[in-house]
Every structure is written in C-alpha cells, then in structure tokens.
Amino acid sequence: MQRLHLFNCSNDLALAQGSKEYIAPKSVTQMERDLAPLPWWWANEGDAVLLPQGADKRAVENFFSQYNRDIIFITEDEGYNTLRQCAGCDFRPSPWGWSRASAERFRRFGMPGTLLPTDRAIEIMRALSSREFAAEYVVKLLNETVLSEYKTILAGDKMRFIKSLEELQTPERTIFKSPWSSSGRGVFAANNLDEPSIREKLTGFITRQGGFIADKLYDKILDFALEYYITPDGKARFLGYSVFVAGGNGYYGHNIVAPQDTLKELITKSGCPEELLDTLITAHSTLLTTTLSGKYSGVVGIDMLTARENGNIVVHPCIEINLRMNIGVLAIMVNSLTDCTDCKLVPASGCMFGAAVIKQKLHIAPIKSRSK
C-alpha cells in the first residue's frame, strides 16, 4: 500500500503532553507549515505528502516537477476522499512520528479509522519513544554475547532512569534528560548549575513526566547514529550511518551529507574500531527485532558517540533511541538523490523548497504558504 506522509516535527513534544488535542508552540507550528513538503525526500514513487490547509500546492508541484518523481501533494482541506479518487488506491498513514495528536490529524483529514493505529498501539509506541525505554535497552545491549569482547571500550553502564531524588547520587559530570523532549530541549548538564538548581529542574521532570534519565557527561569526540527501518513483519533492516553535530547540552546543529563510506570513515577515525562498529550494527538489528516486533514499524535511529575517558577512547552504543523519522535518514536520502557530498544539512528560510549548497551547507528551504 502507498503511504501518505506527514511532517510533524512537534511529535516528541506531543508525546510528552499526551493529548490528541496538542497544540505546538507557534514557532514549531510555523516550521511544520514551512517544511511540510520535506517527506518528498524519503517518499517512494506513488506516495503522497500531506500539506497544511492554505499551502500553495501548485508552487510545490512546480518546484518538484524538475526531479521527475511520481509523488502526490494533497492539502488537508482537500480531504482523504479526494486523494483516494485521484490516485485510485488507499494510503497507509506515515507521519514523522506517531502520537495521539498525529493520529488525530489523519482522522480529521478523513482517513478511515481502520487504517490508523489503535489508542493502545499508540500508547505502546509512546512508551517505546521514552528515554526510559532507551535506558532499559542499553542494559540489554551491553549484555549481548557478541559484545562481550568489547566491554573495555563500551560505555553506557552509567545510564539509568530515576523516579525520585532520593535515588540521585552525586550529580557532578552528569547529564540529565526528561523522558520525552526534542532537539536538546529537556536536557541539561549538572556541571554548570548548583545543587538547588539541579534539584529544582529534576523535580519538574518528575512532576511532569514521572522521572528523568541520568547519564555520565562524556568528553565527546563525535556524534553519530545507526539508522534502521523496522519492517511490517518486525525485522530491523539497517539503512546506513549518519553523522551529526550537537552541542554539549544535546542541542541539534546539523547533519553531514556524504557517501556512506565517508561517514563510516569519520566514525572509525573518531575512535570506534571498524570491527566493533560492524558488530554493533548486528547487535542492534537483533535487539531491535526482538523488542519492537509487533509493536512498531518505521524508522528507528540509534544515537551514539565516541568520547575520551581516562586517556582512552570509549564508544557509547545508545545515547538515545529515536522511534520516528529523523534528519539522519533525510541526509542519507539527500545524498542519494542529489550530487551533494561533504556538506552540512541545515534547515533554512527562503522563498522556495529545495536543496542548495551555500558555503558547504546544504540548505533545505521552504515554499512560503499563501496567507489565508
């Protein structure tokens, strides 16, 4: 079945709030409107991309016509029946990420409830999207037999989920994260704050989301990720590597667009042995298949890093798990569909939506929506 794509980058925030009526901050809502055609980059031939009400669909279609790909654009006010009649088939919903709020958008578009996940399925995906799940996952990963010979180079054993301040040990050189947040929000390092300020922030995490993640604050060398796709029959298929830049508090900067061989070389040169990297690809594939089969189908990104520790280099095999589409997969697709290599993928404002390399930065710029 063809897919109907929705760019809802506010989904992590919607998961934290938990309501189908969630309304994103104005700046995030504007970003979603501006970058609504973004799924064109990862859509398959015959798929459709959902644009917001009032979007200038003709301008979008005219721009993307230069690429000669059969992707349909449809606005929310046109409705699902119009799409179905135009294409002559049903579509499977495919948002950036699943939440009660994203399911409600498809429902309001007119998509039949039989094509949408149940409330129970969404609750399961919400739990799997929490950093609490990532903390449980990394424990299982480090106990995988295939990784036993790499225990001296693997980090991650300090990562844990905490439900009360009584469980908190000395917070120095620690990074704290709320269970659900986006692009570095809900993340802070303890080394820049006094203890009363730390406890105040963590009390807020506990009150709003039931706890927080504590992990060691590493002397980072490189951020990278392993990208997977969980097939409908539950198998984890490796998509490729992504390399990105994030600040000390986790704020996202940009992804590097380059061939896979180049990205793998960056990772190994940062201190991750090639044989360990290959073993981690297999170990993650096995564990993702075991833990997600029957619960989730779609993109999964495993964020990792290399770091300096006591004069040695260590590899953290699972900083976070992104149970949704992500910019790393977008960077892989941009590299495959354009001649852009060795440049940075950076969101940008502008009058058209496409890819343009400016001073070695690939800018993804939006088409302006006409005012209502």
Pairing state between β 361-365 and 343-347: parallel
Provide the mean pLDDT of the chain.
89
Which residue would you say has higher pLDDT here, 183 or 121? 121
Domain count for the chain: 2
**What are the tens digits of pLDDT across the range 143-160?**
999 999 999 999 999 999
Q: Among 57, 84, 118, identify where a domain stops.
A: 118
Q: Tell me, yes or no, whether 242 and 330 share the same domain.
A: yes
Question: Per DSSP, which regions of 97-235 are E strands?
Answer: 160-162, 174-177, 187-189, 212-216, 219-230
Tell me what the mean pLDDT of segment 295-318 comes to: 97
Q: Tell me, yes or no, whether 272 and 157 share the same domain.
A: yes
The two three-digit tokens of residue 155, written as one number: 């980090």
In degrees, to the nearest 5, what angle opens at C-alpha 276 toward C-alphas 285 and 296? 15
- 203 pLDDT more than 60: yes
Q: Is residue 169 part of a domain?
A: yes
pLDDT at 348: 52
- 75 pLDDT more than 70: yes
Q: Is residue 282 part of a domain?
A: yes
Q: Tell me, yes or no, whether 157 and 296 share the same domain.
A: yes
Q: What is the band of 352 on the pLDDT scale with cuts at 50, 70, 90?
A: very low
Q: Tell me, yes or no, whether 167 and 139 share the same domain.
A: yes
Q: Is the dihedral of CA 287, 289, 293, 296 positive or negative?
A: positive
Q: Tell me, yes or no, whether 93 and 184 share the same domain.
A: no
Domain that holds residue 208: 130-341
Q: Tell me, yes or no, whether 134 and 86 share the same domain.
A: no
**Residue 250 contacts residue 187 (beta carbons within 8 Å):** yes
Q: Is residue 364 part of a domain?
A: no
**Residue 67 contacts residue 43 (beta carbons within 8 Å):** no
Q: Is 317 left (phi over 0), alpha (psi -120 to 50) or beta?
A: alpha
Q: Tell me, yes or no, whether 179 and 317 share the same domain.
A: yes
pLDDT at 171: 64
Q: Tell me, yes or no, whether 162 and 205 share the same domain.
A: yes
Among 22-26, 136-140, 193-197, 351-355, the range with the most confident prediction by mean pLDDT is 136-140
Alpha-carbon distance of 130 to 66, in angstroms, equals 40
CATH code of the domain containing 247: 3.30.470
Q: Is residue 123 part of a domain?
A: no
- 366 pLDDT more than 60: no
Alpha-carbon distance of 213 to 175, in angstroms, equals 8
- 364 pLDDT more than 70: no
Q: Tell me, yes or no, whether 149 and 261 share the same domain.
A: yes
Q: What is the band of 253 on the pLDDT scale with cuts at 50, 70, 90?
A: confident
Q: Is residue 125 part of a domain?
A: no
pLDDT at 357: 43
Alpha-carbon distance of 43 to 39, in angstroms, equals 6
pLDDT at 347: 56
Bridge partner list, 358? 361
Alpha-carbon distance of 283 to 137, in angstroms, equals 12
Q: Which of 299, 119, 118 minimizes the C-alpha distance to 226?
A: 299
- 336 pLDDT more than 80: yes
Q: Tell me, yes or no, whether 92 and 240 share the same domain.
A: no
pLDDT at 315: 98
**What are the tens digits of pLDDT across the range 109-126?**
999 999 999 999 999 999
pLDDT at 183: 63
The strands making up 219-230's β-sheet, listed across from edge to edge, are 312-322, 298-309, 219-230, 236-246, 252-257, 343-347, 361-365, 354-358
Q: Is residue 357 part of a domain?
A: no
DSSP, residue by residue, 211-269: -EEEEE--EEEEEEEEEEEE-TTS-EEEEEEEEEEE-TT--EEEEEE--HHHHHHHHHH
Q: Tell me, yes or no, whether 77 and 226 share the same domain.
A: no
Q: Tell me, yes or no, whether 39 and 138 share the same domain.
A: no
DSSP, residue by residue, 261-293: HHHHHHHHHTT--HHHHHHHHHHHHHHHHHHHT
Interacting residues of 318 by C-beta distance below 8 A, sequence separation 6+: 134, 137, 138, 141, 156, 159, 284, 302, 303, 304
**What are the tens digits of pLDDT across the range 220-233?**
999 999 999 999 99
**What are the tens digits of pLDDT across the range 78-115?**
999 999 999 999 999 999 999 999 999 999 999 999 99
Q: Is residue 348 part of a domain?
A: no
- 350 pLDDT more than 50: no
pLDDT at 195: 85
Q: Is residue 353 part of a domain?
A: no
**Residue 173 contacts residue 190 (beta carbons within 8 Å):** yes
| Share above pLDDT 70 across residues of the chain, in percent, rounded to a whole number | 90
Least confident span in 69-83, 90-104, 168-182: 168-182
